[in-house]
Chain A
Amino acid sequence: AQSVTQLDSHVSVSEGTPVLLRCNYSSSYSPSLFWYVQHPNKGLQLLLKYTSAATLVKGINGFEAEFKKSETSFHLTKPSAHMSDAAEYFCVVSGYSSNTGKLIFGQGTTLQVKP
C-alpha cells in the first residue's frame, strides 16, 4: 500500500529565509509524487511532480523538491520565502497502482511566513 507522511504540521519562517517542508513516502512500486498548494478556501494548485525522470524537480514559484529513494523522501524547498507563500501544502503519492490516477494525500503542512 502507498502512504505519505508530512513530518511537520506547521512551519513558520521569516520572509526571505529558506523554506523546507518535509515529506516521507511509502510505496511498493516506483511512485509518482506531487506537491500541491492550497490557499484558504481555494482549490489545489500543482507545484511540481516527480514521475521517475530527474530526481531534482523544479516547480512553479521557485519551489523545488528532490526525490531520494534511499531515504524515501520528497522534501519541498524554496531558497527565499515570500509572504504570498503562506498556505497549506500537501505532499501526495499516486495510489494503489500506477495507472488508476488515485492520489493519497499527506496530512498537510501549514506554512506561515512572518514579515
Chain B
Amino acid sequence: GAVVSQHPSRVICKSGTSVKIECRSLDFQATTMFWYRQFPKQSLMLMATSNEGSKATYEQGVEKDKFLINHASLTLSTLTVTSAHPEDSSFYICSAISGSGSLEQYFGPGTRLTVT
C-alpha cells in the first residue's frame, strides 16, 4: 500500500523557536496533503489542506502565519510551527491523497511536538 512518512517522529523545542515537520509520500505522487492536530486522548482536527503548487487552505480558527505550510513538490509538504509556545505542543499528523483519482487518504505516523 501507499506509504507516507513524517520527520521527525518527535521533537522538543524551546518556546519562541520555530520547528519544521516534513511529510513525504514515498511511493506515490500526492496532489493533496492534509495536516491534522491531535491533542491527548482527543480526535484529529483538520488544520489545513495543502495542494501542490498553490497556497494552503486553512480551517477556521487556524492561524496561517503561525502554521506555515509549503507543498513544493508532489511528494513533500512541510508544516512549520513558528514562534512555538507550550500550547502548540501536540501530535501532528499528515495525510496524502494520490493523484490517481482515489480520494483515500494515507496517513503518516505522526510527529510529537513538545514545546518547553
> Which residues of A are in contact with B by a Cβ distance under 8 Å?
32, 36, 41-46, 49, 90, 94, 99-103, 105-108, 110
Contact with A90, one of B43, B46, B49, B109 (Cβ below 8 angstroms) = B43
Q: Which residues of A contact B42 (CB under 8 A)?
A: 107-108
Given A101-B34, A108-B42 in contact, is the A43-B110 Cβ separation under 8 Å?
Answer: yes
Q: List 17 A–B pairs whose Cβ atoms lie within 8 Å, in order of A's numbering.
A: A32-B103, A41-B91, A41-B112, A43-B4, A43-B108, A43-B110, A44-B44, A90-B43, A90-B44, A99-B103, A101-B49, A103-B34, A103-B105, A106-B43, A107-B43, A108-B41, A108-B43
Interface magnitude class on chain B? 20 to 34
Residues 62 to 107 of chain B near chain A (Cβ within 8 Å): 91, 93, 95, 97, 103-105, 107
* Bound CA–CA A105/B105 (angstroms): 13
Q: Identify whether the interface residues of B are mostly helix, strand, loop, or mixed.
A: strand
- Cβ B93 vs Cβ A94 within 8 A: no
- Cβ A102 vs Cβ B104 within 8 A: no
10 closest A-B pairs by beta carbon, nearest first, are A43-B109, A44-B107, A43-B107, A105-B43, A101-B103, A105-B44, A101-B97, A108-B43, A43-B110, A107-B43
